Amino acid sequence: MPNPESHRLSAVEMAQRIEAGSLTAEAVVQSCLDRIREREPVVRAWAHIAGDEALAAARAASRDSLMKGVPFGIKDIFDTADMPTGYGSPIYTGCRPSFQASAATLPRAAGGVLLGKTVTTEFANRHPGPTANPHNPGFTPGGSSSGSAAAVADFMVPLAIGTQTGGSVIRPAAYCGVVGFKPSFNMFAPAGMHSNTETLDTIGIMARSVADIALFRAAIMAIPYEPPAVPDRPPRLALTRTPHWDKATPDGKAALEEAAGRLRAAGAEIVESELPNSCTHVSEVQNRHSYFEAPRNHAPERYRHEAQLSLALRHGRIEGGQKLTLDEFRTAWREAETMRAAAQNWAGGFDAILTLPAPGQAPKTLASTGDAIFNGLWTLLHMPCLTIPAGTGPDGLPVGVQLVGKRHADARLLDIGLWVESRLEAR
Amino acid sequence: MADTNRLSAAEAVARLSSGALTAEQLTRDCLDRVEERASVKAWTYLDPDYALAQARAADRAGRPGLLAGLPIGVKDVIDTFDMPTQHGSPIYQGNRPFADAACVALTRMAGGTILGKSVTTEFANRFPGATVNPHNPAHTPGGSSSGSAAGVADFQVPLGFGTQTGGSTIRPAAFCGVVGYKPSFGEFSRVGIKLQCQNLDTLGLICRSLDDIALMRAVLIEMPHRKVERAAAAPCIGLCRTPLWDAADGPTQALIERTAAELSAAGARVTEVEFAAPFRDIHKHHRSIFNYEAAHNYAYEHRERRAQVSAVLLETVLDPGRDLPLAAYIEALETAEAFRAHLDDLFAEVDILLTPSAAGEAPAGYDSTGNPAFNSTWTLAWTPCVTLPEGNGPGGLPLGVQLVGQRFADEALLDAAAWVEAHLN
């Protein structure tokens, strides 16, 4: 009955074994806590670990629930009433909100056990936290959802929640070699998520398989759970290099080309296609939204705690945003709407878009979380994104591919993702 | 000068800045009025000593900034670090947030002070608070921004923050006979405002002058103060009865038609505007988005604190929203997008729309804060809206007319509203 390695199971396997009675939720949580104790000094994925509370919740979890006591982690940008909430900022260290974010409440209501809060960069922005890449601690795990990606990759927890305003779910998931999913904008209820950029902030999830993403998505949306199903025929995929292809590293480019080749060999129709011309400056429009909102959204910290804001944030987005005019913001908003309509029309010609989740493998530094250049465009377009591991780069760190779907066709993207995952795994 | 509490925000700021008035005197006049008129019950938290301390600090600092020591009221779904924030709910009794909301911090950074927290219905929704209509205490002030509307109408404070997810700024402003403003969606930060519906929630302003709106826009967007242009040409006005016209009572229908005729006579070109057929039931899509998003954003209260949530919120919003299929929510989102594009087309022909602010005057009693039918469509549309007081209903309570502008044309709406205001009888 005790399985010391149960922390390595997928979430779906955990739930199945708990339901069958061959494993208890408490044993799973204990196994995860043991793994955290062993590895946390190196990986530093957690801002707060609620071990005793999680064990108690696991013992109380209903086997009739969807998640049956399977544990999850949540980025410390979400409010929790029973755990400290620090937003990755010294200003908020030790804060205890009176509210619990919907992203924590709904999985708990579905029988999930909240293990703790994972490390975020400062306000889900650029200034990094202490987390290291579990594959090699000299490399960044990516950010801003650094702790969630590293914890899932390191088998500390099977499921974790992040947020993406530029590339903060897909990029760290790819850098850490896990599956990351950013749904269509606004599909996961944002209450209790500290705002970075209201027009862009999107809650996302990480797991070690597409099937686990589907389970967790159902829990967090409180919708009926349907496992993803491989499509009847191999998909038609757009191979999209984006306007930023020159920012990709050789290993990133090679990973995408190689993955496209393998999917083609497996029967997929691969069509080279780029975003419509109206979208060529999509990343600039994305940036303008973030910059305009930054000084206004951070007014509470500017007013009372300015010295405790990182220089990167003060001299970056906050001062940059103060230079933008209202007309520039309004134009960006209108352009974004035009781009979304054009991209939706274009994406309708394919089952999914196959593109890069990051320029390449994780950079060898802990001072930066890498470049979000291959993510911000899809965040602005509000389209669902899924990154799937696709081998390793030159230093043995993971590289991934990214699939992008039509807006509001999220379940379909997971079906396509299941097919792609199975073909990329079968080496 | 006595009774400085009757000044508009812009008038008060002019005197504060010139040194003709101290923040302490203005705040004292407001506090005297609050005390004298405690029966209005506009405030859920107000500490006179603390309000005066803020005012004296502003005076000592030389009354800097665009607001120069002006006191404002903050709806109690908006976080304040130095006052409780209780959301009109027993769940949050005594709740003290760590940080200000962005709009509160921006107000303080512009030299404003916070007089107190104004009454909200439970979670800016339907279950009413204690506030009464200052024109007749047997009538509702409207909601959910009940306290801000009543407090401003009763000269207890020059300006108050409201929020609008359905009709919670424009309707109470109209019921209380003051000016209400809902900006284009996306322009005012919502950080620190209790999130109800991410696609609908909009920070609004309640005040007694259009000039106050222009002033507060500058504060909240941190842009240069662009004053209302009062010499603008007559606007082209679309009379928009909306598909819900029959929900308006006779006096309100007559008011809107009479207003259209008067403005036409005064030189405005007035045309009739109708929604295209696919959007005649757009208010139903608002309801779907409202219920779905509220049920998921209030998951904590709905699922873990259910016994402390009102029956009306559970039965009319949270339970139906939880049970609404995802496909219906997505259909509503996509219809709303198409509706916004349709309105952009309509605004190619007109500068502003003229439409009711509410179905009638404030109803008697307190069980309901009134019908948001004439507001929720525009909240979904993300268009800027202004309500101006105009006349009284059969019960002697105020009526209002609502002017709607094109999205991101808030300045043009304020200019046109000034023209309308100048040409109303």
Which of B102, B195, B299 comes nearest A300 by C-beta?
A: B102
What pLDDT sits at residue B356?
98
pLDDT, mean of residues B26-55: 98
B34 contact partners, CB below 8 Å, separation of at least 6 = B42, B43, B46, B48, B151, B156, B157
Point out the residue among B105, B296, B299 whose CB comes nearest to the CB of A303: B105
Residue A2 has pLDDT above 70, yes or no: no
Query: Is the CB of residue B149 less than 8 Å from the CB of residue B206?
Result: yes
**Chain segment A49-68, per-residue pLDDT in tens:** 999 999 999 999 999 999 99
Answer whether B105 sits within 8 Å of A189, measured CB to CB. no
Query: Which pair of tokens denotes residue A113?
Result: 């056990």
DSSP A277: G
For chain B, give the number of residues.
425
Mean local confidence (pLDDT), A262-283: 97
Per DSSP, the three-state class of B396 is coil
Give yes or no for residue B387 having a pLDDT over 80.
Answer: yes
pLDDT digits (tens, 9 = 90+) for B240-256: 999 999 999 999 999 99
CA distance B265 to A398: 72
| CB within 8 Å: A223 and B297 | no
Using the predicted structure, report yes or no on whether residue A416 has a pLDDT greater than 70: yes
d(CA A315, CA A328): 20
Supply the pLDDT for residue A4.
66
Gap from A232 CA to chain B (nearest CA, Å):
23
**Do residue A408 and residue B330 have CB atoms under 8 angstroms apart?**
yes
In this complex, is the C-beta atom of B92 within 8 Å of any C-beta atom belonging to chain A? Answer: yes
Q: Does A299 contact B191 at a Cβ distance shorter than 8 Å?
A: yes
- Write the burial class of residue A165 (CB in 10 Å: 0-12 exposed, 13-18 middle, 19+ buried): buried
Q: Looking at the complex, does the CB of residue A94 fall below 8 Å from at least one CB of chain B?
A: no
Q: For residue A324, what is the nearest residue in chain B, using CA coordinates?
A: B223
Instruction: For A221, name the nearest residue in chain B, comparing CA atoms only.
Output: B296
- Whether the per-residue pLDDT at B41 is higher than 80: the answer is yes
- pLDDT greater than 60 at residue A1: no
Looking at residue B247, what DSSP letter applies?
G
| A101 contact residues in B (CB cutoff 8 A) | 300
Cis bond leading into B310, ω under 30°? no
CA-to-CA separations, B343 to B48, B94, B184, B275, B336, in angstroms, rounded = 46, 43, 13, 8, 10
B98, B108, B223 ranked by CB distance to A303: nearest:
B108
- Sort residue A111 into left (φ over 0), alpha (ψ -120 to 50) or beta: left
Chain A hits for B195, CB-CB cut-off 8 Å, are 190-192
pLDDT at residue A261 greater than cutoff 80:
yes
Q: What is the pLDDT of residues A175-208, one digit of tens each?
A: 999 999 999 999 999 999 999 999 999 999 999 9
Q: Is the pLDDT of residue A113 over 80?
A: yes
A16-21 mean pLDDT: 97
The whole-number average pLDDT for the span B184-205 is 98
Q: Report yes or no for ipTM above 0.95.
A: yes
Q: What is the dihedral of CA A163, A191, B145, B331, to 10 degrees?
A: 80
Which residues sit opposite B355 in a β-bridge?
B402
- CA B349, CA B352: separation in Å to the nearest integer? 9
Q: Are A189 and B99 an interchain contact pair (Cβ–Cβ within 8 Å)?
A: no
Q: Which of residues 17 through 76 in chain B touch A, CB cutoff 8 A?
A: none
Which of B300, B302, B334, B342 would you mutate first to test chain A, the one with the most A CBs within 10 A? Answer: B300
Distance from CA of A121 to the nearest CA of B (A): 19
**What is the b/e burial string over A375-413, where b = at least 16 CB atoms within 10 angstroms of the residue's CB?**
bbbbbbbbbbbbbbbbbebeeebbbbbbbbbbbbbbbbb
A297 touches chain B (CB under 8 A): yes
Alpha-carbon separation of residue B286 from A52, A114, A204, B171, B240 (angstroms): 43, 34, 26, 17, 18
Residues of A in contact with B300 (CB under 8 A): 81, 99-102, 105, 191-192
Choose the closest CB to A189 out of B223, B296, B333.
B296
DSSP secondary structure letter of residue B304: I
* Chain B residues inside the 8 Å CB shell of A302: 105, 109
Using one digit for the tens of pLDDT, what is the confidence trace for B347-384?
999 999 999 999 999 999 988 888 888 999 999 999 99
Which of B296, B340, B342, B383 is the best substitution to test chain A (most A C-beta atoms within 10 A)?
A: B296
Say whether A330 and B98 touch across the interface (CB within 8 A).
no
Query: How confident is the model over A323-350, as a mean pLDDT?
Result: 98
B145: how many CB neighbours lie within 10 A of its CB? 39
For residue B397, the SS3 value is coil
- For residue B132, give both structure tokens: 């009464």
pLDDT over 90, % of chain A: 98
Q: By the 8 A CB rule, do B372 and B168 touch?
A: yes
CA atoms within 13 A on the CB side of A328: 18
Cα B398 to Cα B384: distance, rounded to the nearest angstrom: 22
Backbone angles phi, psi at A404, to 5 degrees: -125, 135
- The catalytic residue positions of A are 75, 144, 168
Query: Sorting pLDDT into bands at 50, 70 and 90, what band is A138?
Result: very high
CA B266 to chain A, closest CA, distance in angstroms equals 32
Judge: A190–B195 Cβ closer than 8 Å, yes or no.
yes
Among the partner-chain residues A81, A98, A189, the one whose CB lies closest to the CB of B297 is: A189
Compute the mean pLDDT over every residue in chain A, rounded to the nearest whole number: 96
- Report the chain A residue with the minimal C-alpha distance to residue B86: A98
Contacts of B330 in chain A (CB under 8 A): 408
| Residue where the block lists tokens 């209450």 | A191
Determine if the peptide bond prior to A144 is cis (ω within 30°): yes
Helices and strands in chain A, H and E counts: 15, 11
Contact A333 B186 (CB under 8 A): yes
State the smallest CA–CA distance between residue A297 and chain B in angstroms. Answer: 6
The proportion of chain B whose per-residue pLDDT surpasses 70, expressed as a percent, equals 100
User: Residue A319 pLDDT > 80, yes or no?
Assistant: yes
Average pLDDT over residues A367-379: 96
- Residues B217-237: b if buried by 16+ CB within 10 A, e if exposed: bbbbbbeeebebeeebebbeb
pLDDT over 60 at A427, yes or no: no
CA distance A412 to A406: 9
Per-residue pLDDT for A115 more than 90? yes
**Cβ B425 vs Cβ B406: under 8 Å:** no
Beta carbons of B109 and A301 less than 8 Å apart: no
Exposed e or buried b per residue across B358-396, where buried means at least 16 C-beta atoms within 10 angstroms of its C-beta: bbbbbbeebeebbbbbbbbbbbbbbbbbbbbbbbebeee
Is residue B425's pLDDT more than 80? no
- Extract the runs of DSSP E, i.e. beta strands, from B140-247: 159-164, 179-182, 202-207, 236-239
DSSP 3-state assignment of A417?
A: helix
Rounded to a whole number of angstroms, the distance from the CA of A341 to the nearest CA of chain B is 10
Residue of chain A minimizing CA distance to B407:
A330
Q: Over chain B, what is the mean pLDDT?
A: 97
Supply angle C-alpha B367, B369, B375, rounded to 5: 150
pTM value is 0.97
Q: What is the DSSP string of A39-55?
A: HHHHH--EEEE-HHHHH
Average pLDDT estimate for A125-141: 96
Average pLDDT over residues B164-178: 97
Burial class, A233, CB count within 10 angstroms (exposed 0-12 / middle 13-18 / buried 19+): exposed
| DSSP helix/strand/coil, B69 | coil
- Burial of A7-25, coded b for 16+ CB within 10 Å and e otherwise, reads bebbbbbbbebbeeeebbb
Per residue in B399-424, pLDDT (tens digit) is 999 999 999 999 999 999 999 999 99
pLDDT-derived band of residue B2, with 50, 70 and 90 as boundaries? confident
Determine the distance from the C-alpha atom of residue B393 to the mean position of all C-alpha atoms in its chain, rounded to a whole number: 21
Q: Alpha-carbon torsion B123, B129, B131, B135, what sign? A: positive
Count other Cβ atoms within 10 Å, centred on residue B1. 11
Rounded CA separation A267/A132 (Å): 38
CA neighbor of B134 nearest in space, from B252, B207, B6, B39: B39
User: Best of A199, A225, A303 to disrupt the B interface by mutation (most B CBs within 10 Å)?
Assistant: A303
Q: Hey, is the C-beta of B192 within 8 angstroms of any chain A C-beta?
A: yes
Do the chains contact at B293 and A304, CB–CB below 8 Å? no
Q: Does B190 touch chain A (CB under 8 A)?
A: yes
Chain A contact set for B191 (CB, 8 A): 195, 198, 296-297, 299-300
Q: How far is the C-alpha of B318 from the C-alpha of B306, rounded, in Å?
A: 10
State whether residue A92 sits within 8 Å of chain B by CB. yes
The answer to whether the Cβ–Cβ distance between A303 and B109 falls below 8 Å is yes
**pLDDT attached to residue A52:** 98
- Residue B1 pLDDT > 80: no
- Residues of B serving a catalytic function are 75, 144, 168
CA–CA distance, A220 with B200 (Å, rounded to integer)? 21
Q: Residue B181's pLDDT is what? A: 98
Chain A residues close to B303, C-beta within 8 Å: 105-106, 109
Only one residue has tokens 């039918």, namely B373
**A139 in Cβ contact with A362 (< 8 Å):** yes
- Going by C-beta distance under 8 Å and a sequence separation of 6 or more, which residues neighbour residue A424? A259, A262, A263, A388, A389, A390, A391, A401
Closest CA to A258 of A116, A400, A156: A400
Q: Do A101 and B92 touch (CB under 8 A)?
A: no
